[in-house]
Amino acid sequence: MAEGMKGKVNSPFGKYLVYAIGETVLVVVGILIALQINNWNLNRLAQVEEYKILNALHDEFSSNEILFKECLTDMDTMSFYIDSIRKHLIPAATTLEDSTLYKWLGQIGATQTCIPNSEVLKDATNSGKLSLIKNDSIRLALAEWSAMVEELHAESENWEDDFSNNFYPYTYKWISWDDVDYYSDPDNPRNFKSQFDIDPKLMLRELEFQNVLSIHYWRINLIHYLEESLLMKTQEINELIVKYLAG
């Protein structure tokens, strides 16, 4: 029996069969190696792209850190001058100088819109490349950051609407905004002092102005809170990125 099998292997057909099997095995092994190399190349390219995106995000969020700190400084300034005005809200005459009041009103007589840069994040999201980031903590933090930015924008718009519809209209009957501009920036040749005889301090004796100012103050504190929260989230993301890239 064994001699019969040996004879088959030694036969031309048997030799061809062994050769064919060997060739098939070599082809399969070659394909598997090629697939492995291809997968390795794809993974390497994906990692390169991931690191590229993370480095770009780190640069973008580093600039946003600076922006939020500047915005918070501006908000602190507004809060300081609102507090200064609130101390003179009394139902009696005040010794506060008109020019000082106008300067203070110039510091609070506007709203602020702090818009962080998010072009890299938007491009990564729209292109689907955000999925290349393997770190779950980073992806989650980025999603939370985007939601917080939307909330900040919405509240900033509400603040602007409230300021335009309530704060400004109320002050029209008590002060001249020409005077506010003049005393805030007297060196500007385009700013002129009003020719009307106005006592802006009378506004400080009005309960309605106190309420209008309180709403303005509340909105400033809300925006300050949202910006501060975004600053902390921005710093958290940068720390996560640095740790991940270093690991």
As given in the structure block, the two tokens for residue 157 are 């718009």
Any residues with CB less than 8 A from the CB of 53 and at least 6 apart, and which? 120, 124, 129, 130, 132, 133
As given in the structure block, the two tokens for residue 2 are 């064994």
What integer pLDDT is reported at residue 147 of this predicted model? 97
What integer pLDDT is reported at residue 44 of this predicted model? 72
Q: What is the mean pLDDT of each run of 10 residues along the chain (247 residues)?
A: 49 62 66 67 74 96 97 96 94 91 94 93 93 94 97 96 94 94 93 91 95 95 97 98 92
3-state secondary structure at position 114: coil
What sign does the dihedral 33-38-41-42 (CA atoms) show? Answer: negative
Rounded Cα distance, 177 and 32, in Å: 78
> Taking the mean position of all CA atoms in its chain, how far away is CA 10?
77
The predicted model scores a pTM of: 0.82
What integer pLDDT is reported at residue 18 of this predicted model? 62
Given phi > 0 = left and psi -120 to 50 = alpha, else beta, which region is 55?
A: alpha
What integer pLDDT is reported at residue 5 of this predicted model? 47
What integer pLDDT is reported at residue 19 of this predicted model? 65
What integer pLDDT is reported at residue 47 of this predicted model? 76
What integer pLDDT is reported at residue 2 of this predicted model? 46
